[in-house]
């Protein structure tokens, strides 16, 4: 499977078990889609070896744990969709180095903490959805330099202090 460039399974409730660490050997994988399944376990840190990945969607599943800081190695990642899992912890400040990142959808998880100041250096980020998490800080001033940002959807923040970016908060 080392030459595989795309892998996708959707609406497969019979698909269950943890996400395999062994997939870190799929070095040519560019697109990974696993949605609406009973996949569980944590997001493998070892997947950071899959540096050709441009799109990842692991959503509407039972994945838990924290977002791996080691995924800063996804230097080609442009779309990240981890909607409606059981993810917790904070948003990794290290992900501020994911320059091609254009879309981050982390709605309906249990993420907490603050919005990372380091994400303000993103040059392609257009869409960030964080609705239905428990984030607790204001939007960092550094995010005002996110010129391509078109949508910032976030749960109401404890100290709601919006900078000069469009926002849709629910």
Please state the pTM of the whole predicted model. 0.88
Q: Give the range of the structural domain holding residue 145, as residue numbers without chain letter.
A: 6-154
Q: Is residue 166 part of a domain?
A: no
More confident: 147 or 58: 58
Q: Is residue 167 part of a domain?
A: no
Number of folded domains that form the chain: 1
Q: Hunting for tokens 């441009």 — which residue is that?
A: 54
Taking only the tens place, the pLDDT of each residue in 8-25 is 999 888 888 999 999 999
The Cβ-side half-sphere exposure at 157, using a 13 Å CA radius, reads 21
Q: Is residue 1 part of a domain?
A: no
DSSP 146: -
Query: How far lies 5's CA from each of 16, 51, 149, 157, in Å?
Result: 22, 12, 29, 39
What percent of the chain clears pLDDT 90, i.e. is strictly above it? 67
DSSP assignment of 3-58:
T--EEEEEEEEEEEEEPPGGGGG-TT--EEEEEEEEEESB--GGGGG-TT--EEEE
């Amino acid at each position: 499977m080392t030459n595989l460039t795309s892998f996708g399974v959707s609406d497969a409730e019979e698909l269950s078990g943890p996400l395999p660490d062994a997939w870190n050997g799929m070095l040519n994988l560019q697109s990974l889609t696993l949605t609406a399944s009973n996949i569980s376990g944590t997001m493998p840190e070892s997947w950071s070896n899959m540096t050709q990945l441009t799109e990842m969607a692991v959503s509407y599943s039972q994945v838990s744990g924290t977002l791996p800081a080691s995924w800063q190695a996804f230097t080609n990642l442009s779309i990240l969709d981890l909607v409606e899992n059981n993810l917790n912890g904070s948003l990794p400040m290290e992900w501020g180095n994911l320059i091609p990142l254009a879309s981050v959808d982390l709605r309906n998880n249990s993420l907490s903490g603050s919005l990372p100041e380091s994400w303000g250096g993103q040059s392609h980020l257009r869409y960030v959805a964080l609705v239905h998490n428990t984030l607790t800080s204001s939007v960092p001033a550094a995010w005002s330099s996110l010129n391509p940002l078109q949508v910032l959807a976030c749960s109401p923040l404890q100290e709601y202090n919006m900078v000069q970016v469009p926002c849709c908060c629910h």
